[in-house]
Amino acid sequence: MNLGLANIANNDTVDAGLLCEFQKDGYIVIRGLYTSEEAAQIRDTFMKEAQGGPVPGLSEISRGGIRYDPSDPLSYYPRMMNPHRHTHLAVGKIALDFLLNPRLQPILTALLGEEPLGVQTMFYFKPAGARGQALHQDNFYLRVSPGTCIAAWLAVDDADEDNGGMVVVPGTNLMKIVCPEKADPSKFFTAELVNTPEGLSEVPVRLQAGDILFFNGSLIHGSYSNASKDRFRRSLIAHYVPRYSHEVWEGYHAIDFSGNPIAIAPAVGGGPCGTLQPGGIH
């Protein structure tokens, strides 16, 4: 699965082999899509924005009304939500540039099979000692129908098992949305957990700064704690929905790759998990 730029034919689409991998396993990695210099610039810009602690209106200061304990490394470095909506800030410009980057567009178009629309960005700092995000399926939250969403997860630092890199469960992309159970708050900062189905296994995805992991919205994925002594595991993440989605969770504002807003009907009411289903930011 460790595929490089050679797998992008003419740099304008993904080749058939790569597309097959994505359809079978639910994810692919494109190595070096961003240079290490670009990754370093993203890292430095977000670190500068976070140097005084959480930024009101941008950082996720509480989850479901619960504030991070001051002893939690995430209390100083919570993730930043939708920075691309804050284009008056340097992080906003960088996030919007990532969301609508022409290098990503043909890859996303090939993987989705139709025009991608950007709906969400997030920046994770994940300092040493920080908890991970419990295994989940993105479309539980994004509520795209028909079909599903897709994520582009850019490694801003090298990411592996030591610093809480991503894990995926290949093949779960072919499953329906599974209603989650409660996650262990001592291990995870999110509340919902989807267990690995019997017969399938978690696979760690080892990335170097500048690599991008693309994954399908039904794929079970997440991450464990950053067990390193002193390594951050920063990442910039974008989520996309297909142009002809009938509905998506109401909190998202879809834009095309020219930055034009595209209206999609809101997914309201209970989803497949009834009132358990929160919808939205995950």
Ligand X SMILES: O=C(O)CCC(=O)C(=O)O
Binding site for ligand X (CB under 6 A): 124, 132-133, 138, 151, 153, 166, 221-223, 235, 237
Output the smallest distance, CB 161 to ligand X, in A. Answer: 13
Chain residue at closest Cβ approach to ligand X:
223
Q: Can you spell out the DSSP letters for 157-224?
A: S-B-TTTT-EEEETTGGGS-PPPPEE--TTTBSSSEE-PPPTT---EE--B-TT-EEEEETTSEEEE-
Q: Which is nearer to ligand X, 132 or 279 (CB)?
A: 132
Q: Which is nearer to ligand X, 148 or 258 (CB)?
A: 148
Cis peptide before 127 (omega within 30 of 0): no
Q: Which two tokens stand for residue 53?
A: 């602690």
Output the smallest distance, CB 234 to ligand X, in A. Answer: 9
Cβ contact 98:122 at 8 Å: no
Q: Which is nearer to ligand X, 118 or 222 (CB)?
A: 222
Q: Which is nearer to ligand X, 16 or 29 (CB)?
A: 29
Q: How far is CA 95 from the centre of its chain?
A: 13
Of 252, 272, 249, 271, the closest CA to residue 262 belongs to 252
Q: Which is nearer to ligand X, 13 or 107 (CB)?
A: 107
Q: Indicate the pairing of strand 150-155 with strand 212-216.
A: antiparallel
Q: Which is nearer to ligand X, 110 or 237 (CB)?
A: 237
Output the smallest distance, CB 135 to ligand X, in A. Answer: 8
Sign of CA dihedral 180, 226, 238, 92: positive
Output the smallest distance, CB 124 to ligand X, in A. Answer: 5
Output the smallest distance, CB 153 to ligand X, in A. Answer: 6
* Non-local CB neighbours of 8 within 8 Å, separated by 6+ positions: 14, 15, 18, 30, 107
Output the smallest distance, CB 106 to ligand X, in A. Answer: 21
Of 144, 94, 87, the closest CA to residue 119 belongs to 144
